[in-house]
Amino acid sequence: FENFSPALGDSALALTLPGQAAPWLPKLVCFRSMPAVSRTLTVSLAANLALATVFFMMATRNREGLQGGIAAVQRVSGSSRVLTRPSRTAVFGKVTEPEMKTYDFGWMEDELISPGMGMSNKDRPLIDQRARPRRNRRTDGMRDMVRENFLTPANLIYPLFIHNEPDNVPIPSMPGCERHSLESMLNEVGEAKAEGVRSIILFPKVEDDKKTNFGEEAYNPDGIVPTAIRMIKEKYPDMLVITDVALDPYSNMGHDGIVENGVILNDETVQQLCQQAVMQAEAGADIVAPSDMMDGRIGAIRDALDVEGYSNVSIIAYTAKYASAYYGPFRDALDSHPGFGNKKTYQMDPANSREALLESDLDASEGADMLMVKPGLPYLDIICRIKDHTDLPVAAYHVSGEYAMLKAAAEKGWLNEKDVALETLLGFRRAGADVILTYYAKQAARWLNGKD
């Protein structure tokens, strides 16, 4: 507020707010005839009130809050020194590069208030601090040189929803995602592959008339999943195809296993899962991913694959799959909501972490090649603990609810989608995930490749 303009003639000074219409702000006037001390106090009060007013006005004009600074008057009366604002223009508009300007800080010598501060030989304040982590953040080149974790398209697994329909169907709760026809699936795989994504995982929407309690459609060699595998392998033989091993898409009960008298059966379900996994391997799957959370299913599936000659087919175990509220949009996509109750008798309690280590030990001993944590963001601690606990690669699933929340916030303009999505995926890597299943895979790969 460097323009205290004489709006009332020689007898008074009026403090104005340039460029701002603030009829509700009373005029603050300091008459020249007042004693010097009184004038000083009045102008000081006026300046502080005006400063607070402008901060309030700026905050109400922009939902991101204050993104810059404003000029501040230092010692309105009795000093000629004014702290000027940096020339980084526009508090709320597009920020431009700062003006290159060197300041004189010699005046601070007489005002140092911390016992740990002195002045350098260059007449600048100097704290007694030899280790300065900011030195390693000083330039882009420096930050790149010491970066600890990296995210590449090859770290991403792309989940695709498929159905036996000629047209795609958008999934309202997952903006940007669709149930793909098989032809559209091929196009999507090709686009992802062109961006460097090397692996996809298939999730089928099965027709209701094919769903049963025993889920026999899960191992139909002419079903949608084996058909999709063969199509992908024929056109993109080097694309890694991962398949979901579970009964819920094929169950008229909406559960991951056979239901008897309201109980999800374990061993009987594992028998069905073994048949499903072998059928998927026969169709050309590179990796099977049991997501059912039945006890002992990893060892049983490993043995079934080996006996049938598929010892090279890998297993990604859903090791720590929690009974989470974040799965809602996924179940919308596949119409696989539980027909009754919930999945808490086989999926893990969100309150538990040591149990995840027990599950990881069991899956590793039974022949799993990779261990997965699902969901991702609320369970970064589990990813970290399992990573420290095992020598196997660790996967994290950035699930539908996490994806949907980010999409919704971006659509509202509350977040920068690209920056937050990439930061989220890098967070998985930092926590210990070697690979990440994410619906952002293709889009994130484009961003990583410098594309919009």
What lies within 8 Å, CB to CB, of 372 at 6+ separation is: 289, 316, 317, 318, 319, 320, 321, 394, 395, 396, 397, 437
Q: Phi/psi at 342 (nearest 5 deg)?
A: -145, -170
Please list, in sequence order, all residues whose beta carbon lies within 8 angstroms of the beta carbon of residue 54, skipping any fewer than 6 positions away.
17, 20, 70
Residue 146 structure tokens: 């010491």
The tokens of 4 are what? Answer: 């205290």
Distance CA 334, CA 171 (A): 10
DSSP conformation letters of 2-17: ---B-TTGGGEEEE--
Q: Where are the beta strands (DSSP E) in 225-380?
A: 240-245, 259-260, 263-264, 287-290, 314-321, 370-374
- Backbone CA torsion sign across 395, 347, 284, 232: negative
Is omega for the bond preceding 375 within 30 degrees of 0, making it cis? yes
From CA 177, how far away is CA 161, in angstroms rounded? Answer: 8
State the catalytic residue, choosing from 193, 321, 387, 442: 321
Catalytic residue among 211, 374, 407, 442: 374
* Token pair in block for residue 103: 């300041």
Q: Is 321 a catalytic residue?
A: yes
Is 387 catalytic? The answer is: no
Give the phi and the psi of residue 169 in degrees, each rounded to 5: -125, 115
d(CA 58, CA 52): 10
Cβ atoms of 85 and 1 closer than 8 Å: no
The two three-digit tokens of residue 9, written as one number: 């003639």
The set of catalytic residues is 321, 374
